[in-house]
């Protein structure tokens, strides 16, 4: 097991599950939330992935450190931005260290 303090960058992969009729609205809210996060310390990039089943959205976000990610979760604008997301979807976030890239 890796100590998160030693990992840089740290990757957040958050999978959201929603009703198919709510996927577009969920993507809009997550896009707005990623734009808020873009201005925070340690943010590197974010990529949203729309599930082809219509019921999932994956958010892949790269942070400089786990401490930066944790600070983001407490930021008032992020907390406010999560309210409509939580009304639309359940989610399961996990942090990862970078792995092998095969191209």
Using one digit for the tens of pLDDT, what is the confidence trace for 57-72?
999 999 999 999 999 9
- Report yes or no on 74 lying in a domain: yes
- Report yes or no on 81 lying in a domain: yes
pTM above 0.85, yes or no: yes
- Report yes or no on 45 lying in a domain: yes
Using one digit for the tens of pLDDT, what is the confidence trace for 25-55?
999 999 999 999 999 999 999 999 999 999 9
Give the structural domain span for 57: 4-96
Question: Based on the structure, what is the number of domains in the chain?
Answer: 1
- Report yes or no on 89 lying in a domain: yes
- Report yes or no on 101 lying in a domain: no
- Report yes or no on 80 lying in a domain: yes
What Cα–Cα distance (Å) separates residue 77 from each residue in 13, 53, 65, 82, 98?
A: 20, 30, 20, 9, 27
10-18 vs 89-96, strand pairing mode: antiparallel
- Report yes or no on 103 lying in a domain: no
């Amino acid at each position: 097991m890796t100590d998160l303090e030693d990992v840089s960058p740290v990757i957040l992969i958050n999978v959201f599950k929603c009703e198919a009729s709510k996927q577009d609205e969920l993507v809009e809210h997550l896009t707005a939330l990623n734009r808020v996060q873009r201005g925070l310390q340690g943010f590197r990039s974010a990529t949203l992935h729309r599930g082809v089943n219509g019921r999932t959205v994956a958010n892949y976000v790269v942070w400089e450190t786990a401490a930066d990610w944790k600070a983001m979760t407490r930021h008032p604008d992020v907390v406010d931005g999560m309210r409509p997301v939580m009304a639309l979807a359940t989610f399961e976030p996990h942090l990862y260290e970078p792995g092998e890239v095969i191209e």
